[in-house]
Amino acid sequence: MTMPRFHLAFPVNDLAATRRFYVELLGCAVGRESEAWIDFDFFGHQITAHLSPQEARGVAANPVDGDNVPVRHFGAILEWEAWHTLADTLRRHDVKFLIHPHIRFRGESGEQATMFIHDPSGNALEFKSFQDMQCVFAR
């Protein structure tokens, strides 16, 4: 059985800046679009940036393993090498990390590589990876 794809719609305050960020920095392909929204292929999933400046705002954070993790965020679980490649790309482009790339829950069940960034509208994105993908839902 193939894994279902998810769809996520989220608010942005500038479609041109959003396009540059998701296409040029993250490597997402553009799907359908209008003057008010853009579909992106986000690592095999469909995300839609909707122009809605009044909805694009910061969010609260909760402590997780020593970091203040934004409560509202989305992202992708990447293969180990792809995660490291993305972290290197973000560093080369001087992207400001909300949470710098590091290993969370070291030595525990669910050990993972993680990093957080903001898109141009302040939406928080997390990219994570597991050396053993069987541990994604480890307790």
Q: In the prediction, which pLDDT does 52 show?
A: 94
Instruction: Specify whether 69 is located in the same domain as 114.
Output: yes
Terminal Cα distance for the chain, rounded: 25
Please state, in angstroms and rounded to a whole number, the distance separating the CA atoms of residues 78 and 20: 21
Considering only CA atoms, which of 54, 23, 19 is closest in space to residue 38? 19
| Strands 124-129, 67-70: pairing kind | unpaired
Q: Is residue 2 part of a domain?
A: no
What pTM was computed for the model? 0.91
Q: Is residue 56 part of a domain?
A: no
Instruction: Specify whether 38 is located in the same domain as 68.
Output: no
Instruction: Specify whether 35 is located in the same domain as 69.
Output: no
Q: Is residue 95 part of a domain?
A: yes
3-state secondary structure of 90: helix
Q: Is residue 43 part of a domain?
A: yes
pLDDT tens by residue, 107-133: 888 889 999 999 999 999 999 999 888
Q: In the prediction, which pLDDT does 68 show?
A: 87
Q: In the prediction, which pLDDT does 1 show?
A: 56
Give the CATH number for residue 33.
3.30.720.120
Residue 21 belongs to what domain range? 7-51
